[in-house]
Amino acid sequence: MTGNEKGHRESTVQSAQEIGGELDSPRVRHSESASDFGIDDIRIRRISAQDRQRFLEFFRGLSPATNALRFLALKKQLSGEELIYLTEPDGTRHVALVAVLTENGRERIVGAARFIVLPDSAGGNDHAELAVTVADEFQGKGIGARLVLHLIPLAKRHGVRVFELYASSRNTRIWRMVKRLAPQAARVVEGAVFHITFPLP
């Protein structure tokens, strides 16, 4: 896991309307594969304890390459404690969203994003660590960016002004996404890891 996740530091959720609902309600249709869906078929909502099995399936479905890019090293399994932590954020300092697609009447998680407010520092507690993951077959379709765009107003509501992101230097896709969302984003190379920071718009 990255920086904050090692000490149970990751991300949170609160609905755009209220803690508990969907963030939007675009059209949803059943889909058999990534090629069958459009971005409007994806719903963004908060994660909950009821998503535990769905999130585990999402994690297990990541390719080794995507898994390693996300966690900065291949993570073969999630402990029960980690699974609870990732699916039951407190909604204030840890906010998490999932992108879900309905297939054959059953929801499937195809993306997840979260922020965790960082401990107080010289700059105060207005920084949060961001993490984004999208299932392999759904990458490059704007889902990660959409998740981040939904997280930004929630983060600002809790006083966050800057997102920080740790990513493998091989993860050029996440850097391109961040630069599209925040052209003023900066990155510093720390070994094989990029430390990316950007102010929230």
Do residues 161 and 200 make contact, with C-beta atoms less than 8 angstroms apart? yes
The average pLDDT across 144-151 equals: 96
How confident is residue 94, by pLDDT bands cut at 50, 70 and 90?
very high
Identify the CATH class of 3-199: alpha beta
Q: What is the rounded distance in angstroms from the CA atom of residue 54 to the CA atom of residue 46?
A: 13
Indicate the domain borders of the chain.
Answer: 3-199
pLDDT at 114 over 90: yes
> What pTM was estimated for this model as a whole?
0.79
Cβ atoms within 10 A of the Cβ of 10, count? 24
Q: pLDDT tens digits, residue range 163-192?
A: 999 998 888 889 999 999 999 999 998 888
- Residues 15-71 have pLDDT tens digits of 222 223 334 333 323 334 444 455 568 999 999 999 999 999 999 999 999 888 888
